[in-house]
Amino acid sequence: MYMRFFSRFFSAMAGPRPVVLSGPSGAGKSTLLKKLLQDYDGVFGFSVSHTTRNPRPGELNGKDYHYVTREEMQASIDRGEFIESAVFSGNMYGTSKASVQAVKDQNLICILDIDLQGVRAVKNTDLNPIYVTIHPPSMSVLEKRLRDRKTESEESLQKRLDAAKVDMEISKEPGLFDVVIVNDDLEDAYVKIKEVLIEEIEKVQKINSSS
């Protein structure tokens, strides 16, 4: 009884639970999270990761990623500034403590777009997020979407498809994710993710409307 009261009290003090969005490259993570950020202004905040990959046309430094060199990233990791970091398709990616803290400071639901290595690392922290994985309806649809996106070279595309196969298998591991959302029709997938997050969304809206 008391334990339950205290655990609820402290989890409320800790602010809203973050959300991990994972899943194969091309599954639709960025598309879904951008919709959430747009439709729920003042509710969600994006954890801006660091990466050594080059920016794509239209991507902004500090908004989509912090674009850094390998040397800069490694030095920052060595200084203990990252919650987690991983190598994906030959590039380094990582979540800095500062990126998550910046979102927490605003009392927003922090969205982390991270790969499976990141998911495993976050499991060893006290972030306590909701773990969501986005899957494509099939590998052939995934390939088509990645090709149509026109952001990858043939080599990078193949690396992403290889990683996707592994990713889809590992995601079946019991307990790794709270929810699997198949992104076939975008609107349907968006409705599903909102359903999963509605409790946290309403919590933040309630706090914001009373402050």
**Which active-site residues does the annotation give?**
56, 149, 160
* Residue in 19, 36, 52, 88 binding ligand GDP, rule: CB under 6 A: 88
In the region spanning residues 11 to 40, those forming contacts with ligand GDP, defined by CB under 6 A, are 25-26, 30
Hey, how many other C-beta atoms are within 10 angstroms of the C-beta on 43? 20
Q: 138 by DSSP, 3-state: which?
A: coil
Work out which of 15, 16, 26, 45 binds ligand ADP, going by CB under 6 A: 26
> Which residue's beta carbon is nearest to the bound ligand GDP?
118
Report d(CA 152, CA 10) in Å as an integer.
44
Separation of first and last alpha carbons in the chain: 30
Q: What is the DSSP string of 72-110?
A: HHHHHHHTT-EEEEEEETTEEEEEEHHHHHHHHHTTPEE
Task: Kindly state whether residue 157 participates in binding ligand ADP, applying the rule CB under 6 A.
Answer: no
Q: Which of residues 117-146 bind ligand ADP (CB under 6 A)?
A: 145
Q: Which amino acid would we find at residue 117? A: Q
Residue 29 or 50: which CB sits closer to ligand ADP? Answer: 29
C-alpha 93/C-alpha 153 separation (Å) is 19
Q: Binder to ligand GDP among 76, 95, 171, 183 (CB under 6 A)? A: 95
Q: Which of 33, 36, 109, 114 binds ligand GDP (CB under 6 A)?
A: 114
Whether the CA torsion 115, 35, 135, 192 is positive or negative: it is positive
> Which stretch, 70-78, 85-93, 186-194, 197-205, contacts ligand GDP (CB under 6 A)?
85-93
Q: Which is nearer to ligand GDP, 42 or 150 (CB)?
A: 150
Contact 95, 47 (CB under 8 A): yes
- Chain residues in the site for ligand ADP (CB under 6 A): 25-31, 145, 148-149, 183, 185-186, 189
- Chain residues in the site for ligand GDP (CB under 6 A): 25-26, 30, 49, 53, 84, 86, 88, 93-95, 113-115, 117-118
